[in-house]
Amino acid sequence: MDMFAYRIVPMIVIDDPEDADQLGRALVAGGLPVAEVTLRTDAAAESIAIMSEIAGLTVGAGTIIKPEQVELVVEAGAKFLVSPGLRTDIVREAQLAGRPILPGAVTPSEVMAAEALGVETVEFFPANLYGGPAAVKELAAPFANVRFVPTGGITPANMAEYLALSCVPAVSGSWIVPPNLIAEQRFEAISQLCREAVALAASL
């Protein structure tokens, strides 16, 4: 599945791998079968492995900050990788593993460096601190072949501004899968947030 098919990629922080199966099924039930599980907790790799077994769910790994993490998450089943910044060794490891990677890029120099590595889609993070939609639009102007996935501060209230830009195939956000709902095992509530997000993106 195209990870950008629904124009939204839920960014997930999970603390307990025992929640991973129900969480993954909640995403599928909510019509948003894609997930970026961030390596911000010790539960991330195991959770990726569990969620990767769920039929129809495309699972990726985020917050890749060291090249050795690439092998870890690829072995766990991650189908795509996301990094908050641009490191040549991380990009190369992902490419050797045959996985698409979105490195972080928020300056012209970083975008040019990503292009030189053969990367066509980058993460614009943190979008809210680096100028929002206006900054993405201006940054994209000289780079006609580069796409930007804004992350950081994305909400239902502002996602339309980003998705209106032709250079933005999708946005990534954590509001769809709040950590408190996972902790409280309110998976139907997560499914409902997925439905609302998908409907909103489809209406734009």
- What would the pLDDT profile of 33-69 be if each residue is shown by its tens digit? 999 999 999 999 999 999 999 999 999 999 999 999 9
Residue 56: left (phi > 0), alpha (psi -120 to 50), or beta?
Answer: left
d(CA 15, CA 41): 6
* Predicted local confidence at residue 94, as pLDDT: 98
Residue 80 predicted with pLDDT over 80: yes
* Predicted local confidence at residue 192, as pLDDT: 98
Residue 2 predicted with pLDDT over 90: no
Residue 134 predicted with pLDDT over 90: yes
* Band (85; pLDDT cuts 50, 70, 90): very high
Per-residue model confidence as pLDDT tens digits over 96-129: 999 999 999 999 999 999 999 999 999 999 999 9
* Predicted local confidence at residue 204, as pLDDT: 83
Mean pLDDT within 9-31: 98
Burial of 99 (0-12, 13-18, 19+ CB in 10 A): middle
* Predicted local confidence at residue 100, as pLDDT: 97
* Band (1; pLDDT cuts 50, 70, 90): low
DSSP code at position 104: B
Q: Exposure pattern of 164-199 as b/e (b: 16+ CB <10 Å)?
A: ebebbbbbbbbbbbbeebbeeeebeebbebbeebbe
Which segments of the chain are extended strands (E)? 8-12, 34-38, 58-62, 81-82, 101-102, 121-124, 147-150, 171-173
**Nearest alpha-carbon partner for 9 in 130, 114, 159:** 159
Mean pLDDT within 155-159: 95
| Architecture of the domain whose range is 8-203 | Alpha-Beta Barrel (3.20)
User: In this prediction, what percent of the chain has a pLDDT beyond 70?
Assistant: 100
